[in-house]
């Protein structure tokens, strides 16, 4: 989960094509901040903890709606899309057919919380369907959660690549060098999720994955959240990254994050590397 949050924070300063597409940059600066990616990652984490591990679809979705509205209203200026903030503020929120990349950036907690890839994908689908019920939005959430599950379970990068291509049909044949020249800020799953996977697949560490994100540019906070969440499960995160990230987070966000690590990740082999 910290993988998504740190990726969001580091990527925030380069969002909307504000970077120079380089791997050479200062990781944490005064320009960084958490965005909607962090807020909604926390919201989903709280929702699935409150619902319980064996909860049915109705219960999970009810908790998701409650939690996402609560956290969205608490941080209304975190950078949400227009339709999503309307959903947050609605008294009777309904899914609105989105295929935006928000479904993939907020799902990291699901990748850690369940014991099988089938259950992981099922709950990931529910997290998308409350808002992003377009098939591409659902696919984005399921694929990211599945990759996190596989990474934390010891799968190789090639096994993860093969599963994502076979199960979800994403084109993962392009290298970052091929993607970079024409890539720009875009907010749909179809042009974000494959690129985030490639940032992970061409890396050899969590930090290298995040630097790969800034190398191709685009919607860097969301790319960072997605790619970072998979890299976290695969390699772990340096403790100094977590210490630095905590300086950008307030006590309410940290309370949920710490509870999630205590109740969910610590008994599943979550790794923080020194």
- The predicted structure's pLDDT at residue 209: 98
Are 180 and 217 a contacting pair, CB within 8 Å?
Answer: yes
- The predicted structure's pLDDT at residue 134: 98
* The Cα angle at residue 126 between residues 120 and 129, in degrees rounded to 5: 140
Mean confidence (pLDDT) of the chain: 95
Residue 271 pLDDT exceeds 50: no
pLDDT band per the 50, 70, 90 thresholds, residue 272: very low
Mean pLDDT of all residues in 119-142: 98
DSSP string over 218-253? SSHHHHHHHHHHHHHHHH-EEHHHHHHHHTTS-HHH
Mean pLDDT of all residues in 156-179: 98
Residue 215 pLDDT exceeds 50: yes
Residue 260 pLDDT exceeds 70: yes
- The predicted structure's pLDDT at residue 233: 97
Distance CA(104)–CA(197), nearest Å, equals 11
- The predicted structure's pLDDT at residue 33: 98
- The predicted structure's pLDDT at residue 267: 56
- The predicted structure's pLDDT at residue 92: 94
Which H or E run includes 50?
helix 36-51
* Lookup: tokens for 197: 């996977």
- The predicted structure's pLDDT at residue 265: 85
Distance CA(47)–CA(62), nearest Å, equals 9
- List of residues 6+ apart from 118 with CB closer than 8 A: none
Of 196, 168, 217, residue with least CA distance to 105:
196
Positive or negative, the CA dihedral 110, 116, 117, 119 is negative
Mean pLDDT of all residues in 18-42: 97
Distance CA(70)–CA(6), nearest Å, equals 22
The string of pLDDT tens digits covering residues 218-244 is 999 999 999 999 999 999 999 999 999
* Lookup: tokens for 153: 């379970």
Instruction: Count other Cβ atoms within 10 Å, centred on residue 270.
Output: 18
Residues in a beta bridge with 238? 273
Mean pLDDT of all residues in 141-159: 98
Distance CA(113)–CA(116), nearest Å, equals 9
- The predicted structure's pLDDT at residue 266: 72
Instruction: Supply the pTM of this predicted model.
Output: 0.96
């Amino acid at each position: 989960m910290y993988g998504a949050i740190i990726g969001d924070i580091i990527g925030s300063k380069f969002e909307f094509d504000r970077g120079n597409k380089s791997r050479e940059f200062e990781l944490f600066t005064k320009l960084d901040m958490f965005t909607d990616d962090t807020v909604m990652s926390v919201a989903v984490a709280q929702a699935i903890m409150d619902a319980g591990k064996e909860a049915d679809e109705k219960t999970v979705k009810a908790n998701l709606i409650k939690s996402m509205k609560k956290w969205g209203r608490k941080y209304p200026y975190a950078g949400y899309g227009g339709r999503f903030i309307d959903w947050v503020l609605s008294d009777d929120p309904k899914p609105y057919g989105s295929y935006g990349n928000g479904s993939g950036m907020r799902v990291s907690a699901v990748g850690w919380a369940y014991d099988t890839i089938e259950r992981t994908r099922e709950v990931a689908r529910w997290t998308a369907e409350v808002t992003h019920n377009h098939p591409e939005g659902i696919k984005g959430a399921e694929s990211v959660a599945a990759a996190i599950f596989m990474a934390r379970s010891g799968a190789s990068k090639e096994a993860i690549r093969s599963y994502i291509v076979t199960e979800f049909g994403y084109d993962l044949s392009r290298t970052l060098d091929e993607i970079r020249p024409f890539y720009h800020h875009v907010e749909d799953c179809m042009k974000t999720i494959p690129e985030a996977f490639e940032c992970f697949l061409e890396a050899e560490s969590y930090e290298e994955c995040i630097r790969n994100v800034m190398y191709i540019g685009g919607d860097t906070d969301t790319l960072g959240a997605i790619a970072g969440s998979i890299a976290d499960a695969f390699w772990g995160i340096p403790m100094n990254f977590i210490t630095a990230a905590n300086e950008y987070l307030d006590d309410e966000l940290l309370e949920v994050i710490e509870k999630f690590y205590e109740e969910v990740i610590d008994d599943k082999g979550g790794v923080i590397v020194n």
